[in-house]
Amino acid sequence: MNFSIIIPIYKEKKNLIKLLSSLTKVLNNQINKYEIIFVDDDSRDGSIEVFKKLKNKKIKFLIRKEKPRDLSKSVVYGFSKSKYENLIVMDGDLQHHPSDLKKMMYAFQKNNCDILVGSRNMINNERVNLGVLRFYVSKSLNSITNFLFSLNLKDPMSGFFIIKKIIFKKSKKKLFLLGYKILLDIILSTSNKIIIKEMFINFKNRDKGFSKMRLKIIAQLVYFLLYKFFFR
């Protein structure tokens, strides 16, 4: 199989070298045909200088200058520039570890699913390297989401997943495109029945860069859930 890996970034210059080293090592040992597309949300932190030094045709660096800054829009922009039929989305802050990609790509192919979700094992906050407050907020939102939309997903808010491009194309016109939950947006915007599988990943805590968790993000998520519930 071949894959386009889409990585939305914002002020992640300090993490890029480590991420690229780990990611290309995994991919070169696993598959022949792949591309890595970084979509920078106009962070202006010097990330572009890192990519100017690279001589790898499989790595692309795009800048999305459209305002407002938004992860979902950046991911979709990356999708539109991808050339392969299987899409991977992961964060650029090292919370999603490249070592998990090997088992995720294998499971995606073995199960012949439409979406493979890399889910956090939400047993306790230490297991997923989250603060106590953020852990319980995330867990509560997961439960509310499953209840509202009759889902049975351990982590519908995950930002680490593999999806067939055709599924994205079928949902594109109905996407809400606001905030950080592009996976859930796609799932709730797809009218056809799709096969979704999950597997646990090693969720890491960021140690460098710009944290995106804000009250504004939670407010956007609540707005998104209400909108999808009433106008889906």
Neighbours of 57 (CB within 10 A): 7
CATH code for the structural domain at 3-231: 3.90.550.10
The predicted-structure confidence for 145-204, as pLDDT tens digits, reads as follows 999 999 999 999 999 999 999 999 999 999 999 888 999 999 999 988 999 999 999 887
**All residues at 6 or more sequence positions from 65 whose CB lies less than 8 Å from its CB, including other chains:** 42
Q: Is the pLDDT of residue 102 over 70?
A: yes
The predicted-structure confidence for 120-152, as pLDDT tens digits, reads as follows 887 766 666 677 887 888 889 999 999 999 999
* Mean pLDDT for the stretch of residues 54-58: 88
The domain segmentation of the chain, as residue ranges, is 3-231
45 phi/psi in degrees, rounded to 5: -105, 5
* Mean pLDDT for the stretch of residues 68-82: 96
Neighbours of 223 (CB within 10 A): 13
In the numeric block, which tokens belong to residue 80? 């539109």
